[in-house]
Amino acid sequence: MSSRDVILNRVRRALSGTPAVEESVDRTYLVEHGSRSTEETVDLLAENLADYRAIVHRADADGLAQLLRRLLSERGARSVLVPPGLDASWLETAGDLARVADRAELTPQELDAVDSVVTGCAVAIAETGTIVLDGSPDQGRRRITLVPDHHICVVRVPGQVVSSVPQALRRLDPGRPLTWISGPSATSDIELDRVEGVHGPRTLEVVLLSEGGSARLA
C-alpha cells in the first residue's frame, strides 16, 4: 500500500465515528472596518503604509515622471530594473540611469547589482497598509522586487485601493504568484521587537498616483 493510501485510510478511520455533515461557516464578520469616503480610505492607506516605515508620496499623471526621477536621483541610483509592461513615460525623464529589463535569464547576482526597481501593483489594502503584486507586466517577476535594495511602487488611487483583506482577495487571481508587501522587510526576532531592514528591500517608497475623478472604489 502506498503512503498516500496509508494516510488517507488513517484519516478516514479517524473520522469514521464523526457524522459527515458539512459544518457551515458563519461569515458575519465585517467586510470592512469602519465607514470612510474614498478619499479617507486613500488617506488611511497612506497612514498605515507610513506606520510600517514605507515612504509615501503623492503625484498626478503630469508630475509622476518628475517625482520618480527625483526619488531615484536622491537615492543615488545608477541602475533601475524595469518590468516589461511599465508605462514607458514614467521613466522617460530619468536621464542617464541604466535601465535593466526584467528577463528570465537574469541571474540573482546580476539582480543584486541593480540599485532600484520601479513597479506598479495589483491592489493596495488601506486597513493594513499592504500592496499586492501579481506578476502582471507592470510588476514583473517576483524576484525583481526582492533583490534590489530600493523598491518604488506606484499605486493608482483610488482605482487600485480597497479597504480590507476580504475585498483584496476577491480582486486577486490565485493562479498567479502573489506577493503581499507591508512596509520594508523587518524582523521581530530579537527580543520580540520590530526592526526594519533584513533581506528584502530596506527602502520601500509608495507613490499614490491620482487618476482623476472617474474611478470608484470597489
Partner 1 sequence: MSGTFVGMPAFPEAARDAVRDTTLRGNLRHATHTIRAKRAKAVAELEDWARLREAGRQIKDRTLRRLDHYLVQLEEAVTAAGGTVHWAADADEANRIVAGLVRATGEREVVKVKSMATQEIGLNEALAAEGIAAYETDLAELIVQLGDDRPSHILVPAIHRNRGEIRDIFARTMSEWGRPAPDGLTDTPAELAEAARLHLREKFLRAKVGISGANFMVAETGTLVVVESEGNGRMCLTLPETLISVVGIEKLVPTWRDLEVFLQTLPRSSTAERMNPYTSMWTGTRDGLTGEGDGPRAFHLVLLDNGRSDTLADEVGRQALRCIRCSACLNVCPVYERAGGHAYGSVYPGPIGAILSPQLRGTASEIDASLPYASSLCGACYDVCPVAIDIPEVLVHLRERVVQGGPVTRRGAKVTLRPAKGHAAERAAMRAAAFAFTRPGTLAAGQRLAARTRRFHPRRLPGPGRAWSDSRELPKVPAEPFRDWWLRTRGGKDAEK
**Least distance to partner 1, CB of residue 71, Å:** 21
Cα separation of 47 and 107, whole Å?
36
Only one of the segments 61-69, 70-78, 80-88, 206-214 lies at the binding site for partner 1 (rule: CB under 8 A); that segment is: 80-88
CA–CA separation, 42 and 46 (whole Å): 6
Sites for partner 1 among residues 100-129 (CB under 8 A): 102, 104-105, 108-109, 112, 125, 127-129
> 199, 25, 28, 178: which is closest to 112 by C-alpha?
199
Q: Which lies closer to partner 1 via its Cβ, residue 34 or residue 89?
A: 34
Q: Report, in Å, the least distance between residue 171 CB and partner 1.
A: 12
Is 166 exposed, middle or buried (CB count within 10 Å of its CB: 0-12, 13-18, 19+)? middle
Contacts with partner 1 in 174-203 (CB under 8 A)?
A: 174-201
Among 14, 88, 95, 216, binds partner 1 (CB under 8 A): 14
Cα–Cα distance for residue pair 54/206, rounded to 1 Å: 7
Q: Give the cell for residue 118.
A: 520601479
216 burial type by CB count under 10 A (0-12 exposed, 13-18 middle, 19+ buried): exposed
Residues in the chain: 218
Does position 85 bind partner 1 by CB under 8 A?
yes
Q: Is there binding between residue 26 and partner 1 (CB under 8 A)?
A: yes
For residue 159, give every residue at least 6 positions away whose Cβ sits within 8 Å of its Cβ, in sequence order, or none: 211, 215, 216
Cβ nearer to partner 1, comparing 60 with 112? 112
The grid cell for 109 is 547576482
The yes or no reply on residue 9 touching partner 1 (CB under 8 A) is yes
CB 208 within 8 A of CB 153: no
**65 touches partner 1 (CB under 8 A):** no
**Contact pick of 3, 76, 95, 216 for partner 1 (by CB under 8 A):** 3
The neighbour count for residue 121, using CB atoms within 10 Å, is: 23
Taking the least distance from each CB to partner 1, the nearer of 59 and 106 is 106
214 near partner 1, judged by CB under 8 A: no
If one asks whether residue 55 binds partner 1 (CB under 8 A), the answer comes out as: no
**Stretch 136-175 residues interacting with partner 1 (CB under 8 A):** 136-137, 139-143, 146-147, 165-166, 169, 174-175
Least CB distance to partner 1 at residue 31 (A): 9
